[in-house]
Amino acid sequence: MFKLITKNINNKIDTKLMKKYQTTVNHLVQRINLRLLDGSEMMGWVDLIESYDNREILAMRNKANEWNQMKLKYILVVGIGGSYVGVRATIDMCCGAFDKHAPQLIWVHNMSPSYIVALKNKLAREKFGIIVISKSGTTLEPAINFRIFRELLQKNVGISKLHKYIVAITDKEKGTLHDYAKNRHIQTFGIPNNIGGRFSTLTPVGMFAMILKGLDPLQILKGAKQALKDTEDDDIFNNTAYQYACYRHYLHVSKHLQIENFIVYDPTLQFVGEMWRQIFGESEGKDGKGLFPSVSLFTTDLHSMGQYLQQGTRNFFETTLVVEKPKLDLKLKIIDNNDNIKFLNNKSLQYINEKAFEGTVLAHTKIGKVDNIILKIGTNDEYHFGYLFIWFAVAVTLSGYLLKINPFDQPGVEQYKSNMFKLLGKR
């Protein structure tokens, strides 16, 4: 189940204006489908979902079973950006907080010396697995961390067994990591050339870790396929992803809002927000254009940012992701009234959280004059993650082209890398 609710936009797009968007959308979608727009050749995620290779799923399951039989306590996921955010979003959303399903995934996604050395000390005498994710193998952060931890692993298990403890997810045919793995008989899974990092979560980049944690890849793909089906219609009124793209464009370009604050009410969804932030921020932040994507966890952030959101500068709108029926809930049983909350007797935490959401939307929209778009999903499971991921991908594709930019490249990222390599003395 997925719903887009736009009734809380204060200056709602009227029918006449929507018809103007429809004309533009028809033109763009026709060219998107024919892969005629800049970057549209990188929409391989559409083909991937429509015809996923079952042999690859089987190979990933076999390797996951092999590692489970080895009873590894820890698995390091070495990656950054799209090689990290999406897979963590899936695990957090579907496995929940304080997940006890072995093995424990440890995310290695930065070069902080304090973090890396502390982790190295923690694993000093452990046998652990490594999932290293890098299309080229030359991205500096995963390259450094892979070297550090494979050397530690080799010390712990011996060079002859090292290959059994590593999985490399990389280019299918070439590259530094591909060649390293093949030369050492390390299991590899391929990243298609026509799928960029932030759109790669449903490739082995994310799927292998999902399978390792006991998630069902077929349910993820089922949700993704349904999202593709639901977003086939060119009619904006029948296509929620296109509606979302048009509303965002209107609020940014016509109302001159600069920030989109993506809100969740559950810590296990916070990385879904981070995934959304990367997909939209990296796709649209070009040529001096694009909304700044911000992520908030409510009700926590209402006690730190609530004053600003209610009465501060009106340069933002909100998009709230709501789960209707979480997999876990608790009903309060209150006999005494020592803390003055007996009025909540027999109320569930989900019910209370819902009322916090409803009260916040009412305060922000009616009094604070903040536009609020609401996304509703049925529950926090694999199907709904797959649906959300593809829905975001479809929405950002149209949203980028409405801004007249290529939503699939990231030329600005290369500038910091170039400067960093120069400062480090690379020739």
Q: Which residues are catalytic?
A: 282, 303, 417
Rounded Cα gap, residues 188 and 174, in angstroms:
12
| Cα Rg of the chain (Å, integer) | 23
3-class secondary-structure state, position 229: helix
- Structure token digits, residue 97: 């907080």
Amino acid identity of residue 82, one-letter, is G
Rounded Cα gap, residues 350 and 278, in angstroms:
28
Rounded Cα gap, residues 20 and 159, in angstroms:
64
Which residues face 409 on adjacent strands? none
Closest CA to 406 of 84, 40, 109: 40
Q: Are strands 2-8 and 372-377 parallel, antiparallel or unpaired?
A: antiparallel
Using an 8 Å Cβ cutoff, are 188 and 170 in contact?
Answer: yes
Burial of 349 (0-12, 13-18, 19+ CB in 10 A): middle
Rounded Cα gap, residues 211 and 213, in angstroms:
5
Helix axis angle, 54-69 to 217-230, nearest 10°:
150
Rounded Cα gap, residues 60 and 180, in angstroms:
20
- Structure token digits, residue 370: 């903040």
Closest CA to 9 of 314, 372, 360: 372
- Structure token digits, residue 84: 């990290």
